[in-house]
Amino acid sequence: MQNHVSKLSKQVYIVNALGLHARAAAQIAGIVQESRSAVHIINNDLKADASSIIDILTLNSPQGTVLTFEIENPSDHNILDALVTLVENRFGEEN
């Protein structure tokens, strides 16, 4: 079971200077619109619906935060990968 869960989630490290701000959250929510089932983002004990910008913002994730993306449906793995890439690319920000 533990093994199974880890396949459906990935950890990321927020590297961009401004953290998970509105425009970044909008990009995440934009990607998640395409998902088949629910996608969540977890920051410690907080869990947000990744399709809602506001919910994502309430995770309060400045630079340096470790987040977990979690998908419910294995066929959403491409969404999971896209989200990880987005964060790693600093949401397209310069620094």
Partner 1 sequence: MNVSDTRELKLYGIGASDGISIGQAYLVDKKGVDVIKRYVIQERTLANEIKRFKTAVSKSNNELRAVIEASPEELRQHANIYETHIALLKDKMLYGRTIAYIEKERVNAEWALKKVIANIKLIFQNMDDSYLRERIVDIEHVSELILRNLVGAKQENLADIDRRVILVADDLSPADTSQINLKKIMGFITDGGSKTSHTGIIARTLGIPAVMGLETATRMINTEDIIIADGTQGTVIVHPSEKTILLYQERQNRFEQRKAVIARNCDITAETSDGFRVKVMGNIELPEEVVAVRDHGGDGIGLYRTEFQYLRNHAFPGEATLFNSYKDVVEKMYPNQVTFRTLDINGDKVLRYHIDNYHEDNPALGLRAIRYCLKHPNIFKIQLRAILRAAAYGNLRILIPMISNCFEIKETRRLLDEAAASLAADGLLYKRDIEVGIMIEVPAAVIMADVMAPKVDFFSLGTNDLIQYTLAIDRGNRQVAHLFNPLHPAIVRMLKSTADMAHKHNIGIFICGEMAGDPLYTPLLVGLGIKELSMNPFTIPIIKQTVRSLNFKECQQFTHEILQLADAAEIAKRLQQNFGAMYYEEADVCEETVNGKTA
Of the ranges 34-42, 52-60, 71-79, 83-91, which one interacts with partner 1 (CB under 8 A)? 52-60
From residue 16, alpha-carbon distances to 7, 43, 86, 90 in Å are 25, 16, 11, 5
Residue in 10, 49, 82, 90 binding partner 1, rule: CB under 8 A? 49
Q: What is the DSSP track for 78-92?
A: HHHHHHHHHHHTGGG
Residue 26, interface with partner 1 (CB under 8 A)?
Answer: yes
List of residues contacting partner 1 (CB under 8 A) = 18-23, 26, 29-30, 49, 51-55, 57-58, 60-62
